[in-house]
């Protein structure tokens, strides 16, 4: 189906086993280091490919790290089901963080149920009430948090580092696969037999809320399917802005 419609497909890459073992050891070392330095570490997962690589590493090497996902109320059904699948597969608990009903009501009253299509400001406000504000609650009391961000994902992420200061929240933020290439990521997932989000098989390289995410075609930027009605510099929801 993807081939007929010329949609993006999971890259078919092969790396030598030495490189794959090096990646596994690298991820282990980074997660163990984070776990050893901080008492309360939390990992925000969207269940997409990058986050599944980090989840796999946590399950093997750093199980004191707490996992949570932002249940925005507008996720694909495949994402909701994926949370349960990952919990069962790894024997981990993923805390579902939901937005505040009153905040959603105020957004709808001001902008309409799908008002985020009207422009950048409305989109930012929707992301704020469904993702950014819930993240604040999810990280309350944490010493550090972890993401699955990579430099090669977007023009807005090309200056990522392993460790950063989340100035907005006043805690350390870690990106343990920040320097992994696309080939590194997909070859690692295959090598480790990591469960993949079903939307990756339907042309979605990036996964977010259902109305704001679409499949992309071959040759498009990997973030092109996120908020596609905005320019390429507007591909962030506010969770990771400095």
| Concatenated DSSP letters of 146-178 | E----GGG-GGGTT--SEEEETTTTEEEE-TTT
Tokens of 20: 């794959």
Q: Nearest-CA neighbor of 214 among 236, 223, 177, 185?
A: 223
Mind listing the domains of the chain with CATH numbers? 2-234 (3.40.50.620)
Cβ–Cβ under 8 Å, residues 116 and 145: no
Which among 126, 127, 212, 237 is annotated as catalytic?
A: 237
- Taken as a whole, the chain contains a residue count of 242
Q: What is the pLDDT of residue 108?
A: 97
- The single residue listed with the structure tokens 């939307």 is 199
Q: Tell me the pLDDT band of 1, cut-offs 50, 70 and 90.
A: very low
**212 classed as catalytic:** no
Full DSSP string of 124-142: HHHHIIIIIHHHHHHTTT-
Integer-rounded Cα Rg, in Å, for the chain is 17
Nearest to 128 by CA among 104, 112, 164, 101: 104
Residues of the chain with pLDDT > 90, as a percent, come to 83
**Section 134-144 average pLDDT:** 97
- Other C-beta atoms within 10 Å of 89: how many? 13
* pLDDT of 2 above 50: no
Q: Check pLDDT > 60 for residue 157.
A: no
Q: Is pLDDT above 60 for 213?
A: yes
The pTM of the whole model exceeds 0.85: yes
């Amino acid at each position: 189906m993807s081939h007929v419609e010329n949609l993006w497909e999971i890259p078919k890459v092969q790396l030598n086993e030495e490189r794959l073992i090096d990646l596994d050891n690298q991820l282990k070392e980074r997660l163990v280091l984070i776990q050893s330095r901080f008492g309360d570490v939390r990992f925000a997962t969207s269940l997409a490919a990058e986050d599944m690589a980090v989840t796999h590493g946590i399950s093997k090497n750093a199980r004191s790290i707490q996992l949570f996902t932002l249940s925005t109320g507008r996720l694909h059904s495949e994402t909701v089901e994926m949370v349960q699948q990952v919990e069962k597969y790894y024997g981990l608990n993923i805390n579902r963080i939901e937005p505040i009903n009153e905040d959603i009501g105020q957004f709808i009253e001001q902008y309409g149920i799908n008002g985020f299509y009207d422009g950048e400001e409305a989109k930012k406000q929707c992301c704020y009430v469904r993702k950014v504000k819930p993240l604040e609650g999810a990280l309350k009391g944490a010493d550090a948090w972890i993401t699955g961000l990579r430099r090669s994902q977007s023009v807005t992420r090309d200056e990522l580092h392993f460790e950063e200061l989340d100035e907005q929240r006043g805690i350390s933020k870690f990106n343990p696969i920040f320097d992994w290439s696309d080939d590194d990521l997909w070859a690692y997932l295959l090598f480790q037999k990591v469960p993949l989000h079903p939307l990756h098989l339907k042309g979605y390289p990036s996964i977010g809320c259902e109305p704001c995410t679409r499949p992309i075609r071959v040759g498009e930027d990997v973030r092109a399917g996120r908020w596609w009605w905005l320019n390429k510099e507007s591909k962030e929801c506010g969770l990771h802005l400095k």
